[in-house]
Every structure is written in structure tokens, then in C-alpha cells.
């Protein structure tokens, strides 16, 4: 892996959950890490645990919706060769009915999941193309396969991410750069738990962060899209027609996870 995707990897959203799992697996493979996250405590804890595995680790405490996030990222990466970008920072930061919601908060969801993702991908993909090797892994969501109440904007930006990954894959595949969108379903992460999701519904497929991180890295060369955690059939069903029946049925299922219908 280090020959193809090293010597450094940048993990945006690398402090906990799936991001931390990516960090540990890359450290086990000998890849040095730049971990970016908002929360200093989990960021420092993950950095220390992966540094103990013998790799170099740099950290950047950064909210990617802040002005000019790329400037801060460049300050800690311009002197190293980054062969892998993992963008795992696109959690839903605001769930609310659209017409009564705060437009600025919706803009934050767009800036995190689209604007920041494009900025980092544009910056790191160009030298990868020139070197003829590297990888871009964008973490997506099953939410992007169907519009959902309370998280309509989040679902929309995740749909953008998948289509973007497909186009980028076409552009870079002949230049030795792998592109993959790793689509996650319900995953037992601290963020999901903080959102109050009921993950104990009988029959609900709940993935483990380490399992989906392993799957993403193992299939990085199998782009443009990999639906992780055994959710391939769910993605297929969400892509079908007629849309009214599909959307309404998924909405009823979601309400069982979120009794208060507060998003997440």
C-alpha cells in the first residue's frame, strides 16, 4: 500500500469512528498520516495511538467550513508527498425541515460536503496525476440515494458526491490514480450515537467502523463506487422506480430510527 498510496495520507475527519479506523489501518501499513478534525480531544487521542505504531503523524484542528480551509491544510502538507486523500468529514451537521430551517446552517452542510471536499480533492489530485499514482477515497452515504425529510440538503449533497466521484474516476483512472466513493449505511460511530439514532431495531444492518474502513482500503482500486457494509441491495432498491413509493417507504423506515424526526 505504501508504494501505491504513500508515503503520506491525509484523513479529513480522522479523529474518531470510521476516520480513526482508517488512520489505524494505514498506520499498520506504514503510511504516515495527517489527521484533520474539529475536536481537539479525540484528535489528540487518535494521533497518539497511531503514532505509537511507528509512523509519523501530523494533526490539524480545523473546521472545514471555516474560511479558506485549504490554506490551513497546505501549511501542514506542502512539504510532504501526499499519496492518499480520504475525505471523511461530511457528517450531517444540521437536520431540519427545509422551509423552516436556517439557510446559513444549510449552507454549512453544503460547504462541508461539497465546497471543502472539492477544494481538498482539487489540491491533492493534481500532483497525484503528475506522479502517476495515488488514491482519492470519498466517504459517501446511502442518504445520497434518496431524498429524505429533515435531511433533504444532506441527502442532496451526498448524491452530488457520488456523481462527482464517478466523473473524477473517469478522468484519473488512466493516470494511475484510484478514485472511490465508499458508501456507508448505518455505522456504529460516535457521531451516530450522538445523533440519537436507534441502531437496535431488529433486522437493521449496522456496520462496524473498522469493517467499513478495511473494505474501503481493500477496494480502493475498484472504483468508482463501493457500497460498504452489506448495503448493496439497499442502494439498488433506493435507486428504483416509481420514486413516490420508494421515497415514502424509506421515510417510514427512517421514522422508526428517529422517533422525533429530528434528522441526523
Question: Would you call 232 a catalytic residue per the annotation?
Answer: no
Q: In this structure, are strands 57-61 and 177-184 parallel, antiparallel, or unpaired?
A: unpaired
Residue from 158, 232, 246, 255 carrying the catalytic annotation: 158
Residue from 154, 232, 237, 255 carrying the catalytic annotation: 154
Question: Would you call 154 a catalytic residue per the annotation?
Answer: yes
- Which residues participate in catalysis according to the annotation? 154, 158
Amino acid at each position: 500500500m505504501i508504494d501505491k498510496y504513500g508515503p503520506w495520507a491525509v484523513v479529513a475527519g480522522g479523529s474518531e469512528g470510521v476516520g480513526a479506523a482508517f488512520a489505524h489501518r494505514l498506520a499498520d501499513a506504514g503510511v504516515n498520516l495527517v489527521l484533520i478534525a474539529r475536536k481537539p480531544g479525540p484528535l489528540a487521542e487518535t494521533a497518539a495511538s497511531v503514532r505509537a505504531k511507528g509512523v509519523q503523524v501530523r494533526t490539524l484542528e480545523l473546521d472545514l467550513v471555516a474560511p479558506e480551509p485549504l490554506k490551513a491544510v497546505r501549511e501542514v502538507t506542502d512539504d510532504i508527498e501526499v499519496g492518499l486523500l480520504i475525505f471523511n468529514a461530511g457528517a450531517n451537521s444540521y437536520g431540519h425541515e427545509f422551509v423552516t430551517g436556517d439557510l446559513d446552517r444549510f449552507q454549512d452542510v453544503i460547504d462541508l460536503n461539497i465546497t471543502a471536499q472539492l477544494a481538498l480533492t482539487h489540491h491533492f489530485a493534481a500532483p497525484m496525476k503528475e506522479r502517476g499514482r495515488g488514491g482519492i477515497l470519498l466517504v459517501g452515504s446511502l442518504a445520497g440515494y434518496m431524498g429524505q425529510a429533515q435531511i433533504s440538503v444532506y441527502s442532496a449533497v451526498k448524491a452530488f458526491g457520488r456523481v462527482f466521484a464517478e466523473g473524477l474516476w473517469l478522468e484519473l483512472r488512466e493516470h494511475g490514480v484510484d478514485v472511490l466513493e465508499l458508501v456507508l449505511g448505518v455505522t456504529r460511530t460516535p457521531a451516530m450515537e450522538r445523533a440519537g439514532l436507534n441502531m437496535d431495531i431488529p433486522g437493521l444492518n449496522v456496520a462496524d467502523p473498522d469493517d467499513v474502513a478495511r473494505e474501503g482500503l481493500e477496494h480502493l482500486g475498484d472504483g468508482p463506487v463501493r457500497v460498504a457494509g452489506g448495503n448493496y441491495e439497499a442502494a439498488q432498491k433506493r435507486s428504483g422506480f416509481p420514486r413516490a413509493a420508494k421515497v415514502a417507504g424509506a421515510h417510514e423506515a427512517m421514522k422508526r430510527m428517529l422517533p422525533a424526526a429530528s434528522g441526523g
